[in-house]
Amino acid sequence: MKYLFAWVAPALVVIAHANPLNLMPLPAQYTLGTGSLSIKQTFRVVITSYTEPRLVAAGERANSILSRQTGIPKTLSESGPILTISCAHAAEAVQKFGEDESYRLTVDERGARLDAKNPLGVLRGLETLLQLIEAGPQGFSAPAITINDHPRFPWRGLHIDVARHWMPVEVIERNLDGMAAVKLNVLHWHLTDDEGFRIESKLFPKLQGMGSDGQFYTQEQVREIVAYARDRGIRVVPEFDIPGHATSWLVGYPEFAAAPGPYQIERRFGVFDPTFDPTKETVYQFLDKFIGEMTALFPDEFFHIGGDEVTGKQWRQNPDIQSFMRQQGFQDNAALQAYFNRRVQAMVAAHGKRMQGWDEILNPNLPKDTLIQSWRGTKALAESARLGYQGILSAGYYLDLIQPASKHYLIDPLGNEADSLSGDEKKRVLGGEACMWSEYVGPETVDSRIWPRTAAIAERFWSPADVRDVNSMYARLEVVSRSLDWRGLTHRSDYSKMLNRLADGGRVEPLQVLADIVEPVKNYKRGRGAGIVRPTQQTPLNRLVDAARCESLQAMEFARLVDDGDRKRIREWLMRWRNNDALLQPVLAKSFLLTEVIPLSQALRQVAETGLEALDMIESNKSPTAGWLARQQAVLDEAKKPRAEVQLMIVAPVEKLIGGLEHPQPEVPKRVTRAK
Ligand code: ACM
């Protein structure tokens, strides 16, 4: 207890960064002026030149956000600072890919002025203005500045899988608000997969009727979301994954499958065999009607047909399909899928849309207006561009891999693979999409996997290519993350709620001390391994691994302290972690949800003890013995193993601390007694 009272919570140090502005994404160009605009009230918005209801609503929404993030009441005061918006002309009736999003924002001591050609530029500029407002000793203000801004890539998306886990309307809407805040402009809505068919079809009601457990969007809700997105300058591209990943379609319509049913909604996660039969004309008749119904609902120019991970097993085992392939001279399943894609593409085009698919669909017999989404690596993107197809990158932006923001941030759609492309080929690379697959996220946790990391990806897509300073990114990411709280995103607030549920009335502080320095296992290690029961769609997502953040800022901070040799603060942290186990064990004993955490907490104590011993040696100029080093290494190796499907993120810095010790002293030889 002594340590507990003596200990002062080490505050997170704000990382020194090169850029003085907390903007994310950073604008293409800006010049700081002198002075600032004081913000004591919400803005008086004046729209000159072209206007439309969307712009009026955007001005009001900006004031609401301002009010929420500052606490200043939203009033109709006549004395607030003036925000003049000047927009040259209307946008396309249906937001088009590649529409102008540029804007010019000027702030001085008298007010703010936002100029754009297109309402989309106004929407982007308003977000920048909101990000400029910060508290200072004199109150809230925005610095005097002139910003000329435009995006680097026209396609800046977030893909959300609502099939593995259902995401109700409010989840989508709050994430659209988050997307708008960081200037993303495409919601790629993964609406169907083996585990669920999530949209109402009036023509084929057994799709959602039997394939969704009643968890689907009505057509009215879809219209609402599309309108909500448009208000924020975001296009909505729906994905209907065919011919594989199709179990949920086939529950109600087994006659379209390549093998006899019956089928049931898949509860497990993975790649499964149920596949459409590409040889049946009835399949194309069905798909044509269905695509017609859906293209009427989704105004966007693009229509995503999935096309990934077709196992082909049902095709190989079906004699009729095999004989069809022989007749057509198809050598393999890829050729059969290419035939299927070609037919689907013709229908998509007949309904006035451009087809998009995952990189498996890449095949030179598809028309050149097909859009390729690269997920298996950057090679496919370069290959598509060389073959004359436009493409977007998702490889490197898979949020479900639980990688740090820095890793995603440094991956560029025009990165290494694109070096060999010609100028025209490079232009075919339109941007990218962060992908949120939902095997291990539900409505409660999805925000914490999307945010704040997606803001870093958004900067990659918007800002100039040479904006790559990771320290600056992390400093600004924290600011943006806090501001997203005020947009209704739950990536921060759910952490505390979930820890409280785990503690079940016990003390939550020691649980948080532990939770703050763990991260979920990465790279699809979740749900795998000895003794782990493979989770399904029905497995609750209420464990420590679900509450844990993707990236432990405290562990990062500790690693920095070790690098800097700040022994005083290293000791503070290590003592706290060493003492935490005794405080936490009674809490862990209270709830079955925390039983798995018992050994994790013990491992943390052991790592901290090791670190403290190392620190003592450093401070007393002692060198470790080889025996001591071997024992400590064994402790650290043990602590590196995931427990409760999370990793202790402070093991590596403690290892570094030990690595910094002087070379070991030779052991004093033990007397060897042979005689017995
Ligand atoms: C995918 O991740 N199967 C596109």
pLDDT tens per residue across span 159-205 = 999 999 999 999 999 999 999 999 999 999 999 999 999 999 999 99
pLDDT-derived band of residue 8, with 50, 70 and 90 as boundaries?
very low
Q: What is the DSSP letter of 463?
A: S
Ligand 1: nearest atom to the Cα of 435: 2
Is 308's C-beta closer than 6 angstroms to any atom of ligand 1? yes
d(CA 214, CA 216): 6
Q: What is the DSSP letter of 26?
A: P
**How many A from CA of 461 to the centre of ligand 1?**
21
pLDDT-derived band of residue 17, with 50, 70 and 90 as boundaries?
very low
Least confident stretch, 13-27, 283-297, 385-399, 442-456: 13-27
**What is the pLDDT, as a whole number, of residue 660?**
82
- Catalytic residue, from 99, 309, 383, 509: name it: 309
**Per-residue pLDDT tens digits for 612-624:** 999 999 999 888 9
**What is the pLDDT, as a whole number, of residue 531?**
81
Percentage of the chain modeled with pLDDT above 90? 90
Tell me the mean pLDDT in the region 218-246: 98
d(CA 169, CA 222): 9
**pLDDT reading at 40 higher than 90:** yes
Ligand 1: nearest atom to the Cα of 245: 3
**What is the pLDDT, as a whole number, of residue 15?**
37
**What is the pLDDT, as a whole number, of residue 157?**
98
**What is the pLDDT, as a whole number, of residue 378?**
87
Q: 358 and 308 in contact (C-beta within 8 Å)? A: yes
Q: For 433-469, where are the alpha helices, taking DSSP H only? A: 446-450, 453-462
Which one has a higher pLDDT value, 415 or 669? 415
**How many A from CA of 103 to the centre of ligand 1?**
35
> DSSP for 391-440?
EEE-TT-BGGG---HHHHHT--TTSGGGGGS-HHHHHTEEEEEEEE--TT
- For atom 1 of ligand 1, the residue with the nearest CA is 308
Is 309's C-beta closer than 6 angstroms to any atom of ligand 1? yes
Tell me the mean pLDDT in the region 543-549: 98
Ligand 1: nearest atom to the Cα of 375: 4
Which one has a higher pLDDT value, 4 or 651? 651
- For atom 2 of ligand 1, the residue with the nearest CA is 375
Q: Is 239 assigned a catalytic role? A: no
Record the pTM.
0.94
How many Cα atoms are found within 13 Å in the side-chain-facing hemisphere of 313? 7
**What is the pLDDT, as a whole number, of residue 597?**
98
- For atom 3 of ligand 1, the residue with the nearest CA is 308
**How many A from CA of 377 to the centre of ligand 1?**
11
**How many A from CA of 375 to the centre of ligand 1?**
6
**How many A from CA of 349 to the centre of ligand 1?**
24
**pLDDT reading at 118 higher than 50:** yes
**What is the pLDDT, as a whole number, of residue 527?**
92
Average pLDDT, the chain: 94
**What is the pLDDT, as a whole number, of residue 12?**
37
Ligand 1: nearest atom to the Cα of 309: 3
Is 375's C-beta closer than 6 angstroms to any atom of ligand 1? yes
Tell me the mean pLDDT in the region 365-385: 94
**Per-residue pLDDT tens digits for 420-478:** 999 999 999 999 999 999 999 999 999 999 999 999 999 999 999 999 999 999 999 99
Q: For 39-108, where are the alpha helices, taking DSSP H only? A: 53-70
Pocket test for ligand 1, best of 375, 400, 401 (most atoms within 8 A of CB): 375
**pLDDT reading at 10 higher than 60:** no
Q: What is the 3-state secondary structure (H, E, C) of 194-225?
A: CCEECECCCCCCHHHHHHCCCCCECHHHHHHH
d(CA 468, CA 432): 17
